[in-house]
């Protein structure tokens, strides 16, 4: 992980980095090691890496003794990886789009960790896809835009709190591990980054009768931030009387804004409507 080697590899293989594919390669060995440490990688750990690029983080994971499956969409980079990871017997490269690959088939049923410097244009679909599929993922340690990391850990009533916060906190316990400056990448992205560790929960923090309804309510509550909760919940298609009843039973003031509700309060409304 250093600038000169990275640029040399890209030049040798005639690679032009694609902005569209979110290609910002890590050139900071300290960050690579800090990610591996945050994921507490032990020899023999099964790891899914998303977007290995030229293999900078992959190599670090391989040297820690992990069994790595790395999914890369860019065919040109797959050829580079064959060279840069030559001799790493514990790495398997899969050419494909992480949003389309059959992850269960690639990873099997034993639990594993997800470690990645994510392509920022699809951070949310990747993370939500992994969580919603209920894959046997124990831990996700990912580099994301700092703003996205802040949204994931945000608490009710703060400006960053939204549907993503609720969803990530429903499935995991997220913590921001450290901030990474643009100069740690080539090319340097326009924004600061953060490494976030999401420990997947074995039990959700709130019990809901229907997850589908829970997330519908969450989505509705955050759909129009300037509206009161009562008005926002109308977008669920429920009659106003039912909305009033549920809020009254839950002891929640309908004049509040959706973004002030805790996971527990969303769960109370869900369970009232599930009756």
User: Does residue 122 contact residue 145 with C-beta atoms inside 8 Å?
Assistant: no
Which residue's CB is nearer to ligand SAM, number 51 or number 162?
Answer: 51
Name the minimum Å distance from CB 186 to ligand SAM: 8
Taking the C-alpha atoms of residue 64 and residue 36, their distance in angstroms, rounded to an integer, is: 8
Out of 13, 21, 128, 176, which residue is the one contacting ligand SAM (CB under 6 A)?
21
C-alpha separations of 121 from 10, 85, 148 in Å:
22, 26, 11
Contact (CB, 8 A) for 56 and 36: no
Stretch that binds ligand SAM, among 49-57, 107-115, 130-138, 244-252 (CB under 6 A): 49-57
Nearer to ligand SAM, 22 or 174 (CB): 22
CB-based contact 259:162 (threshold 8 Å): yes
For position 119 contacting ligand SAM by CB under 6 A, the verdict is yes
Within 8 A by CB and 6+ apart from 126, the residues are 50, 98, 99, 118, 119
29 part of the interface to ligand SAM, by CB under 6 A: no
Query: What torsion, rounded to 10 degrees, do the Cα atoms 226, 231, 232, 238 define?
Result: -170
Tell me which stretch binds ligand SAM (CB under 6 A): 15-23, 104-112, 159-167, 249-257.
Answer: 15-23
Size of site (CB under 6 A) for ligand SAM:
23
Footprint of ligand SAM on residues 83-112 (CB under 6 A)?
Answer: 97-99
CB of 155 to ligand SAM, least distance (A): 28
By the 8 A CB rule, do 39 and 139 touch? Answer: yes
> β-pairing, 46-50 with 67-72?
parallel
Q: Which of residues 69-88 bind ligand SAM (CB under 6 A)?
A: 71-74, 77
Window contacting ligand SAM (CB under 6 A); options: 8-16, 37-45, 68-76, 202-210: 68-76
Spatial contact of 58 and 116, defined as CB atoms under 8 Å apart = no
CB of 117 to ligand SAM, least distance (A): 3
Site for ligand SAM (CB under 6 A): which residue of 50, 163, 198, 246?
50
Q: Which is nearer to ligand SAM, 28 or 259 (CB)?
A: 28
Q: Is 117 in the site for ligand SAM (CB under 6 A)?
A: yes
**Can you list the alpha helix ranges (DSSP code H) found in 53-102?**
56-63, 75-84
Q: Which residues form the interface with ligand SAM (CB under 6 A)? A: 21-26, 50-53, 56-57, 71-74, 77, 97-99, 117, 119, 122
């Amino acid at each position: 992980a250093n600038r000169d080697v990275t640029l040399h590899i890209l030049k040798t293989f005639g690679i032009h980095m694609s902005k569209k594919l979110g290609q910002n390669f890590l050139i900071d060995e300290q960050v690579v090691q800090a990610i591996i440490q945050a994921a507490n990688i032990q020899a023999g750990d099964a790891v899914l890496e998303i977007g290995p690029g030229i293999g900078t983080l992959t190599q670090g994971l391989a040297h820690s003794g992990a069994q790595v499956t790395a999914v890369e969409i860019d065919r040109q980079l797959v050829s580079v990886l064959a060279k840069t990871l030559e001799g790493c017997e514990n790495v398997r490269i899969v050419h494909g789009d992480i949003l389309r690959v059959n992850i269960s088939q690639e990873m099997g049923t034993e639990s594993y960790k997800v470690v990645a410097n994510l392509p920022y244009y699809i951070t949310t679909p990747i993370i939500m896809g992994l969580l919603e599929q209920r894959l046997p993922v124990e831990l996700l340690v990912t580099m994301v835009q700092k703003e996205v990391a802040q949204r994931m850990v945000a608490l009710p009533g703060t400006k960053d709190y939204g549907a993503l916060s609720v969803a990530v906190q429903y499935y995991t316990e997220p913590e921001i591990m450290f901030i990474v400056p643009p100069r740690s990448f080539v090319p340097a992205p326009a924004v600061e980054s953060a490494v976030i560790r999401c420990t997947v929960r074995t039990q959700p923090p709130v019990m809901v009768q229907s997850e589908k309804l829970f997330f519908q309510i969450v989505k509705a509550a955050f759909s129009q931030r300037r509206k009161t909760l009562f008005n926002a919940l109308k977008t669920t298609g429920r009659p106003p009387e039912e909305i009033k009843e549920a809020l009254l039973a839950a002891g929640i003031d309908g004049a509040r804004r959706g973004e002030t509700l805790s996971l527990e309060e969303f769960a109370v409304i869900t369970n009232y409507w599930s009756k």
